[in-house]
């Protein structure tokens, strides 16, 4: 079931919402159980046969966590460590079988000349997310920073439907106290108002922006995969369309997850903080998929040695290992590994530059340095996304060759008059205006959405800033989100900013519903990972 489907919007979500607060009037544990069972139903609607896998994983890890906790309390740390190692091995083995078995078979056939047959395996949705969530919990139980003997709370922690399929990666300290708090299951009109607004904004990101940009990214990457020599304009259109499609698709999902959770008075961690505004790759990874970055840092990079008590070379090795495994986490393919290795190299260069630049007298705080840093970081990220999106290296090389201008420069004929007027006749005479290749159809709406998306990315506040303002506001807290200050400065006093914001949200929702009806719901990109 998709967040952007009629069945979710008008059936599943309303029923679960009403049930949670009806049960919450009598018992918060009963309400938590209702949410847990609803989450299992949400997962079962996708693939019923994998519900057994999910439940088996939950019961195994709950038992392992209980065992580790008991052994730790008995001061039998050696026994607890053995249980931890065994449980992590089981989890990684399960993940490896479903996600990487055929990748290993294909790689062995290619590099070793074997002729092994591929296995008949279907990747269970969300297996990476619920596996990593439980591994982190096991490690924290072993460290003595987590304890949870209430199975209902643990079930809800793992299966909570807003995050189950595509994240964010949850931490027990963020969620367990909320699920155990009776106030969570009492209606809060302010949170409902804010949650609905956030949800609608995320839904619009996905349906109106990401799905439109896909109409440019899909045909152009398909053309590159087929060996079509894309020109400079075509290749950059494809790369930028995918760059923004991925951003609005995943950030839209995360916004919807945050909005849905606010309806239930549950606060999910923010997963995006305007990553394309980052002035360095280090800053980018503090802003993009923040919960995954935190997981890789706390449970992989730091255990490897991190940056403390080790030399520069060892630190860079730890960074590269972390990013290579982070790339492999996203997908079982060499292009994902290459993407992770590329970002590992970016981080190494970035750290090296930070160490050298003060000696050269370069000030990173200047406005020019900031703008240059954002532009360079965005360019590096776009190049990385080419590998991330490409189905093989040849496709990536074809895209990059086009982006470098090796196949010429071509601008669609519909834009000829605009370029001529802006650039002048000198530049106009050097550019071919033969449009896109006949086999590559890109609607004009893609270019409009691309420009609009760039304006949104760099010119507007993100969800984190809006929510911070909402939560710290002293007045008008019942208004959707934190638009009060903005609207009150722009509108005459007789106009109710709260009513206007709510009306605009309702209008946006109506437009999105119509768009879903015309094209149908589409899956989120991170469902593949």
Residue 362 burial by CB count (10 A; 0-12/13-18/19+): exposed, middle or buried? exposed
Rounded to an integer, what distance in angstroms lies between the CA atom of residue 388 and that of residue 497?
Answer: 43
**The pLDDT value given to residue 411:** 61
Backbone angles phi, psi at 277, to 5 degrees: -90, 0
Q: Other C-beta atoms within 10 Å of 34: how many?
A: 21
pLDDT at 433 over 70: no
Between 49-73 and 77-112, two packed helices, what is the crossing angle to 10 degrees? 140
**At a CB cut-off of 8 Å and minimum separation 6, what does 424 contact?**
none
Rounded to an integer, what distance in angstroms lies between the CA atom of residue 281 and that of residue 73?
Answer: 42
pLDDT in tens, 14-29: 999 999 999 999 999 9
Residue 390 region by backbone torsions, left for phi larger than 0, else alpha for psi between -120 and 50, else beta: beta
DSSP codes joined into one string, 411-430 = --GGGHHHHHHHH-HHHHTT
Residue 54 region by backbone torsions, left for phi larger than 0, else alpha for psi between -120 and 50, else beta: alpha
Distance of CA 304 to the CA centre of its chain: 25
Rounded to an integer, what distance in angstroms lies between the CA atom of residue 378 and that of residue 280?
Answer: 9
Lookup: tokens for 205 = 């990101």
pLDDT at 299 over 60: yes
pLDDT in tens, 500-515: 667 888 899 999 999 9
Whole-prediction pTM value?
A: 0.87
Confidence of residue 413 (pLDDT cuts 50, 70, 90): low
Q: Which of 200, 93, 274, 196 has the alpha carbon at shortest distance from 516?
A: 200
Spot the catalytic one: 330, 343, 351, 407: 330
pLDDT at 428 over 50: no
Tally: H helices and E strands in the chain: 25, 0
Segment 253-266 mean pLDDT = 93
Q: Which of 123, 115, 118, 124 has the alpha carbon at shortest distance from 103?
A: 118
Query: Percent of the chain beyond pLDDT 90?
Result: 52
**The pLDDT value given to residue 79:** 82
First to last CA, the chain: 17
Cis peptide before 301 (omega within 30 of 0): no
Asked which of 46-55, 90-99, 273-282, 359-368 is least confident by mean pLDDT, the reply is 359-368
Q: Would you say how long the chain is, in residues?
A: 529
**The pLDDT value given to residue 48:** 85
pLDDT in tens, 380-401: 999 999 999 999 999 999 999 9
Which helix H or strand E contains 448, and what residues bound it?
helix 444-459
Segment 36-46 mean pLDDT = 93
What is the overall mean pLDDT for the chain? 84
Asked which of 140-149, 229-238, 322-331 is least confident by mean pLDDT, the reply is 140-149
More confident residue, 320 or 486: 320
pLDDT in tens, 337-347: 999 999 999 99
Mark whether 330 is an active-site residue.
Answer: yes
Q: DSSP label at 410?
A: B
pLDDT at 495 over 80: no
pLDDT at 466 over 90: no
């Amino acid at each position: 079931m998709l967040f952007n489907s009629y069945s979710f919007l008008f059936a599943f979500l309303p029923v679960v919402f009403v049930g949670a607060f009806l049960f919450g009037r009598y018992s918060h544990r009963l309400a938590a159980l209702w949410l847990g069972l609803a989450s299992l139903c949400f997962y079962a609607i996708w693939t019923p046969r994998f519900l057994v896998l999910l439940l088996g994983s939950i019961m195994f890890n709950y038992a392992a966590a209980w065992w580790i906790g008991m052994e730790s309390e008995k001061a039998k740390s050696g026994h607890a460590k053995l249980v931890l190692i065994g449980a992590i091995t089981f989890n990684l083995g399960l993940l490896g079988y479903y996600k990487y078995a055929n990748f290993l078979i294909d790689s062995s056939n290619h590099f070793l000349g074997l002729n092994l047959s591929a296995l008949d395996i279907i990747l269970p949705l969300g297996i990476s997310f619920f596996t990593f969530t439980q591994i982190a919990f096991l490690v924290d139980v072993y460290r003595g920073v987590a304890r949870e003997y209430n199975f209902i709370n643990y079930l809800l922690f793992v299966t909570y439907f807003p995050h189950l399929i595509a994240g964010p990666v949850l931490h027990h300290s963020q969620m367990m106290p909320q699920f155990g708090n009776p106030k969570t299951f009492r209606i809060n009109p302010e949170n409902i108002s804010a949650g609905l607004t956030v949800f609608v904004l995320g839904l619009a990101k996905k349906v109106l922006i990401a799905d439109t940009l896909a109409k440019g990214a899909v045909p152009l990457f398909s053309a590159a995969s087929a060996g079509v020599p894309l020109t400079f304009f075509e290749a950059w259109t494809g790369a930028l369309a995918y760059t923004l499609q991925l951003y609005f698709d995943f950030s839209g999902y995360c916004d919807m997850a945050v909005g849905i959770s606010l309806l239930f008075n549950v606060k999910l961690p923010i997963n995006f903080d305007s990553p394309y505004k980052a002035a360095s790759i280090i800053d980018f990874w503090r802003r993009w998929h923040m919960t995954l970055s935190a997981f890789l840092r706390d449970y992989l990079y730091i255990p490897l040695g991190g940056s403390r008590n080790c030399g520069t070379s060892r630190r860079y090795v730890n960074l590269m290992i972390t990013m290579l495994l982070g790339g492999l986490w996203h997908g079982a393919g060499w292009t994902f590994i290459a993407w992770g290795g590329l970002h590992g190299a970016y981080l190494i260069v970035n750290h090296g530059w930070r160490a050298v630049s003060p000696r050269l007298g370069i000030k990173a705080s200047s406005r020019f340095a900031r703008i240059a840093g954002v532009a360079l970081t965005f360019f590096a990220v776009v190049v990385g996304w080419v590998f991330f999106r490409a189905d093989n290296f040849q496709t990536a090389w074809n895209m990059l060759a086009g982006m470098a201008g090796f196949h010429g420069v071509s601008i669609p004929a519909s834009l000829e008059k605009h370029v001529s007027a802006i650039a002048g006749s000198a530049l106009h005479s050097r550019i071919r205006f033969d449009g896109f290749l006949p086999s590559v159809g890109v609607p004009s709406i893609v270019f409009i959405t691309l420009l609009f998306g760039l304006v949104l990315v760099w010119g507007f506040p993100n969800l984190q800033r809006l929510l911070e303002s909402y939560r710290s506001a002293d007045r008008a807290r019942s208004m959707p989100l934190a638009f009060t200050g903005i609207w009150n400065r722009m509108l005459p006093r007789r106009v109710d900013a709260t009513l206007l914001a709510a009306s605009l949200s309702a209008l946006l929702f109506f437009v999105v519903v119509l768009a879903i009806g015309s094209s149908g719901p589409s899956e989120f990109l991170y469902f593949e990972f």
